[in-house]
A and B are shown apart, each in its own frame.
Chain A
Amino acid sequence: MSEQTMTNKKPNGIESGNPLLEVHNLKKYFEITAGIWRHMIGHVRAVDGVSFILRPGETLGIVGESGCGKSTTGRLIMRVLEPTDGQIIFDGQDITKLRGQALRAIRSKFQMIFQDPYASLNPKLTVGEIIAEPLVVNHIETLRSSQERVVHLLERVGLRADDRNSYPHEFSGGQRQRIGIARAIALNPQLIVADEAVSALDVSIQSQILNLMVDLKKEFKLSYIFISHNLAVIRHISDRVGVMYLGKLVELGPKSGLYREPLHPYTVALLSASPEPKRENRRQRIILQGDVPNPANPPQGCPFHTRCPKVMAICQKEAPLLKEVFPEHQVACHLYNFKAKSKKEGDE
C-alpha cells in the first residue's frame, strides 16, 4: 500500500513498507463451565475473527463499548493471552504460539499501559524500582546501573528525579499513569498497547497525558494501539480507527473518513450518542433500543442486527465480512454489498 493513499496531513511519522503488526482472523473464546465437574457448556466469544495491520509509526484506535472484545484483543497482541485461533505476526515474526524463552526474547519490543493507575503499579516497590524492573528482568541493566536511565525517563514524562525514591501511593492518578508510561518506554519498544490509559483520569489530567503520549510517539518513533470507549479521545490520538462490536471489527478506516462519514450503523449510532459539548456540532441522535446481546450467545448472522435501525432480511441469516468500500476504509455490513470489493486489507 503506497504512502500516497494515506492521510493528506503533513508528516505524521507513518512509514510505508512492511507492517509492524499483522493480525489475521484472531479469535479468543473463553470456556463457560458448570457443575462440580466443571464441564464445558459453552463459549464466550470475546474476540471472534479480527484482522488488521498496523504500520510502523501509526496509531490505531480501537473503540467499542464494554464487552466488545477490545481489551481482550489488546491482551492477545501482547501475548498475555493465547489465541484460540488466528495469527499474530509482529515485525515479520509469527508470535502466535511463542512461549517461554522465545517469547521473553521479543517481549521487549511491545509494552502495555493499563487503565487503572492504582492497580498497575506494585505498591511495594519504589518508583525507581518499578521503572527499572523491565531493564533488570531482561538483563539489560542492574538496578544500580539503570539509575541514570530511570532519572532520564522520569524527567521525560514530567516527573522529578527525586520521585524515584517514593512509593506509588504517594502520587496522584495522573502521576501514576506517567510512571506507567515511563515503565512502558524503558525498553524502547516499537509498539505500545494502551488499554483505556486515560479513562480513569479527570478531564484536565487526561489532556496532559494524551499530549505526553503524542510527544513520546514522535520522539521515540512509537506505534500505538490505543484502546478506549471514548470516541473523542480516540479521534484525537489515532491515525486509523477500528470499531468493535461483540468480538468483531465492524468498521476500520482512516480517522477523518470514519468520523466524517461513518459507514456502519453501529458507528453512526455510537457517534451520535456521544455527548458533545459544542452544541452546534451535535449530530442527529440515534438512540439504540435494547442492550448488547450476550457474547456467550451471539445472534445469528450479523451480531448487530438485533439493534440495527437498518436491518434487512439477509442480516439475520448471514454475517457480513469486513470489506473495503472506500480506499483504506472497510466495513462489515450488508448495506454495502454492492459497493464492496473482495480485497482483504493488506493485499496489494
Chain B
Amino acid sequence: MAEALLNVRDLKTYFHKKDLEIRAVDGVDLTVFPRQIVCIVGESGSGKSITALSIMRLLPKPHGKIVGGEIEFEGNNLLKLTEGQMTDIRGNNISMIFQEPMTALNPVVTVGKQLTEVLLRHRKLSKHESEAKAVEMLKFVSVPRADEIIHEYVHQLSGGLRQRVMIAMAMLCEPKLLIADEPTTALDVTIQAQVLELMKKMRQDFNTAIILITHDLGVVAEMADHVLVMYAGQIVESVDADTLFHQPLHPYTMALLDSIPSLDDEKETLYSISGTVPNAATFPPGCRFAERCQRATRDCSENIIELNEIKPGHLVRCQKA
C-alpha cells in the first residue's frame, strides 16, 4: 500500500473580520495518494477553495489564518516551513492552477517569460535551456505555434489556450501534486473536454496526483478516483467516485444529484433544496445542513455530528445515513 503523498488532518482556517470569526474551513481531513485524482466538490461558500489555498499557504492576508490542524506533504509538515521554503515547493513539488486564467496569469509579461520564470527559479537552467523547455511543454499541452506564442501576451490568447498555458506552467517542474481550483468552469464545454483530457494525460505521463476542486458533478464523474463533498466548511461525505454516484449516503449529496438536470433524464420538476447555506460566522451547534434536510429531526441540530466510516472506505457526517 503506497504512502500517502499529502495528509491533511483536522484543518481549520478561520477569517477574522472585526468581531466576527468566519469558519471557512472547519476541521477538514484529506488524504491524497500518488497518481490519485481527488475531487473536492461543493457549492459557493463550502470552503473548498480555501482548503486548497490553505495547503498552498496562499491565504489572503491578514484576515485568513490556519488556526489548527496539520498538513503533511511527503512527510514534511508544511505548516512549519518558512515562506522561503514554501516558495521552493510552490510551482516545483506542488503546483496550482486557477479558475480565471486571465486574472491568474500576468498580463504585462509575455507567455514565454512567465514560463521560463518558473524554471529559472526552481531549476539550474540557462535562459536558453529554459526557453527550449518552455516551448517543449507548450507543445506537449497542444498549444499551436508554440514558438510564436512564447512571445505573445495573455490577452492575445483564447480562454482555452490560456488555461493550457497555465497547465504548462504548473507542470514544468513535474510536480507530484497539482491542485486545480475550478480549472474549467470559465471554459466552453468543448474546450473543457480538451482540458480535462489534458489533465488526465498529465497524471499518466508525469505521475502527478491531482486535487480537483469543482462544483460540477459532471466533471467529478469524468475525473475523480475519490470524492470529498464539502458543505459549510466541513466534509460531509468521502468515498470513491463510483459509490458516490450510485450509493450516496449524505442527504446533501443526494439532494445535489437530484437537483441537476441531466442530459438524459426526463423530469418534470427538478428537486430543489429549500433554504440557503448558513452564515459562516454563526454556524448552529449541530448538523449544518439540518435546517434544509428532509430527514432531520430535532437532535440533528443539537448533537455534534462526526464524520464516521459507515461502510468500509465510505465516510459520512450524518446520523440518519
Residues of A within 8 A of B (CB): 65-66, 172, 174, 202-208, 210-211, 214, 229, 231-233, 235-236, 256, 259, 269-279, 281-282, 285, 287-288, 290-292
Contact = CB atoms under 8 A, between A and B. Distances in A.
Contacts of A290: 144
Contacts of B264: 259, 276, 278, 281
B262 A278 contact: yes
A210 B43 CA distance: 18
Given A232-B260, A236-B261, A204 B193 contact: no
22 contacts: A65-B189, A203-B217, A204-B256, A204-B259, A204-B273, A206-B259, A207-B261, A231-B189, A232-B262, A259-B264, A272-B193, A274-B189, A275-B216, A275-B219, A277-B260, A277-B262, A279-B242, A281-B262, A281-B264, A287-B194, A288-B194, A292-B158
Nearest to B257: A277
Nearest to A214: B269
B161 interface: yes
Given A172-B276, A208-B272, A211-B270, A203 B260 contact: yes
Given A275-B218, A278-B264, 8 more contacts: A66-B159, A203-B256, A210-B270, A229-B189, A232-B262, A276-B221, A279-B245, A288-B194
Contacts of A204: 43, 255-256, 259, 272-273
Nearest to A65: B188
A233 B221 contact: no
Interface of B: 43-44, 144, 158-161, 188-194, 196-197, 215-222, 242, 245, 255-257, 259-267, 269-273, 276
A207 B272 contact: yes
A259 B263 contact: yes
Contact of B189 (A174, A205, A270): A270
Contact of B259 (A207, A231, A276, A279): A207
A274 B264 CA distance: 11
A204 B222 CA distance: 20
A205 B45 CA distance: 13
A236 B267 contact: yes
A204 B41 CA distance: 13
A285 B190 CA distance: 10
Given A273-B192, A276-B218, A288-B190, A203 B259 contact: yes
A267 to B, nearest CB: 11
B189 A232 contact: no
Nearest to A279: B221
A65 B216 CA distance: 17
Contacts of A207: 259-261, 270-273
Contacts of B242: 279
Q: Is the interface of A mostly helix, strand, loop or mixed?
A: helix
A103 B262 CA distance: 39
Contacts of B276: 172, 174, 205
Nearest 8 A/B pairs, CB to CB: A275-B218, A236-B261, A65-B188, A207-B270, A273-B193, A207-B259, A207-B272, A202-B43
A203 B215 contact: yes
A233 B261 CA distance: 6
Nearest to A209: B272
Contacts of B219: 275
Contact of B190 (A172, A211, A273): A273
Nearest to B266: A256
B202 to A, nearest CB: 16
A85 B161 CA distance: 34
A277 B261 contact: no
Nearest to A307: B190
A287 B193 contact: yes
Contacts of A233: 261
B272 A232 contact: no
Contacts of B259: 203-204, 206-207
Contacts of B44: 202
Contact of A66 (B188, B216, B260, B273): B188
Contact of B197 (A172, A278, A287): A287
B269 A211 contact: yes
Given A203-B256, A210-B261, A277 B217 contact: yes
